[in-house]
Every structure is written in C-alpha cells, then in structure tokens.
Amino acid sequence: MKIRLTDTKAWPGRAHETDAGLDLRSTEPTFMLAPKEKKLIGTGVHAEIPKNHFGMVVIRSGIGTKTNLELANKVGIIDSDYRGEIMAMIRNIGDTGELIEQYSPIVQLIIVPCLIPEIEVVPRLSETKRGNGGFGHTTKKL
C-alpha cells in the first residue's frame, strides 16, 4: 500500500511486525477534549488502498480501554479510491476532559479484502431454514 504524508512527524507504524493495524497519529496540536465533546482529528496520512480492499479505521485498543475516548461512528470505512487525508471523529463519552497529545497514536488502519458483487434485483430470494428469523430468534426462553 502506498501512503503520502502531509506531516512527516505523523509517520504511521506498527508496534510489532505482525500487528494487523497500522497506528495513525493525531496531527492536531495537543488539546483537551471536554466531556461529551467530539472533534475531527487529522492523521496526516493519505493512502492508496489496493483495489478490491477497503480501509477500516478503529480506535486503538489502549485508547478504548484506558480512556473515555471512542470513534463517534464506531468504525470508519475508507474506500480504495479515496485519496484525501484519513480523519477520525473522536468523542469523549466520559465526565472529565481527556488530553490528546500531538503525534500520539489514536486510531488504527486495517486493510481488508472486499468482494464487490454485481447487484441483481429479483422478485424473490431462495428459501432457507432460518428464513426471516431476525434478532434473538434463536434465544432459548427461560
């Protein structure tokens, strides 16, 4: 995958060579995110994601477990033809401010293969044992 950096201090990386996610850093000057506030944070990274793949942006596990910060949309999807800066809408769900330091790793970019099927509109779909059974339909009654 090719990347272009708009801020060379925001070099993305992996803590270990086998890590699935590429850590992306906040390029915003250090700031305090107030309780219940959300802010769009730049990473300085533009990516050329391979065709038939997409980028999945998720909060870093350490941020998600040790702070009250989360991605406002939970998971960001980056299409392979997007060439703009990868951004993250971060929200503070806590009751106290959270410090986000410039160049600290904040989210991960994971590249995932993607099947892009042809769409065919049909009058009916094939039958299955499950049928229309939806949320909780297999839950045993207590």
As a whole number, the mean pLDDT across the chain is 93
Q: pLDDT, tens digit, for every residue of 27-86? A: 999 999 999 999 999 999 999 999 999 999 999 988 888 999 999 999 999 999 999 999
Residue 65: name the closest of 22, 33, 31, 94 by CA.
94
Task: Indicate the helix (H) or strand (E) that contains 46.
Answer: strand 38-48
Domains of the chain: which residue ranges? 1-67+92-97+106-116
What is the residue type of 98?
Answer: E
The CATH class that applies to domain 1-67+92-97+106-116 reads: mainly beta
How far is it, in rounded angstroms, from Cα 77 to Cα 111? 10
Q: pLDDT, tens digit, for every residue of 66-81? A: 999 999 999 999 999 9
Residues 6+ apart with CB under 8 A from 35: 92, 94, 95, 96, 97
What is the reported pTM? 0.85
